[in-house]
Amino acid sequence: MDRIFLPEKFDIEPTAPQAAEHWQHWYETLKNCISVVSVDNLDTKKLLINYISPAVYQMILDKETFDEAIQTLNGIYIQPKNEVFARHRLATCKQEQGQTIDAYMQKLRILSKDCNFKAVTAEQHREEAIRDSFIKGLVSNSIRKP
C-alpha cells in the first residue's frame, strides 16, 4: 500500500470539540484507503483496528463485523445537532475584526448546516422565528446551550 492512502491513527475523545468532524474526515480517509487496496478478501475490520487507538478499539471490541464497528462509532461520534442552539449561533454570529466578507459568509454557511432548514408553511416559519427570537433574547446563557 502506498503511504499516501493510509489514514492517520484515529484517537479522538467523543466529547472533544469537533469530534464528529474529525471522525467523518477520518472515516472518509479510511474508505479511500480501502478503495485503492487491491487485495483479495481484504479484512476491513482488521484494517480498521490497525488505524484506531486502544481507547477507540475498546468501543468496538465486541463488534463482529466492520459494518457493525462503523455503525457503533457513527453512533458515538455523530450526535444529533441541537437545532435551536445552532440557529442561535447563526443568528448571533458577527463579523470578526479583520475578517473578510468572503470569510464571514463562509462561516455563516458552515453554521447554517446544523440549522436543519427545510420548506415550511408560513405558520411554521412564524413559530420558529418566535422561538429563535425567544432564545436570542434570553438573559441566561445556560438555557440556550444544548
Q: What is the pLDDT along the chain (146 residues), one digit of tens a residue?
A: 445 577 889 999 998 878 999 999 999 999 988 888 777 788 999 999 999 999 999 999 999 999 999 999 999 999 888 888 888 888 888 989 998 888 988 998 888 888 888 888 988 888 888 888 887 777 777 765 65
B/e letters for 4-13, b = 16+ CB within 10 Å, e = fewer, are: eebbeebebe
> What secondary structure, in 3-state letters, does 37-61 show?
CCCCCCCHHHHHHHCECHHHHHHHC
Distances (CA, A) of 109 to 62, 91, 117: 39, 12, 12
Q: What is the predicted pLDDT for the residue at 1?
A: 45
81-87-89 Cα angle (round to 5):
95
Distance CA 47, CA 58 (A): 16
pTM exceeds 0.85:
no
Distance CA 60, CA 23 (A): 14
Distances (CA, A) of 75 to 38, 69, 134: 29, 10, 31
DSSP 5: G
User: Residue 77's closest CA among 26, 7, 142?
Assistant: 26
Q: How many CB atoms lie within 10 A of CB 20?
A: 17
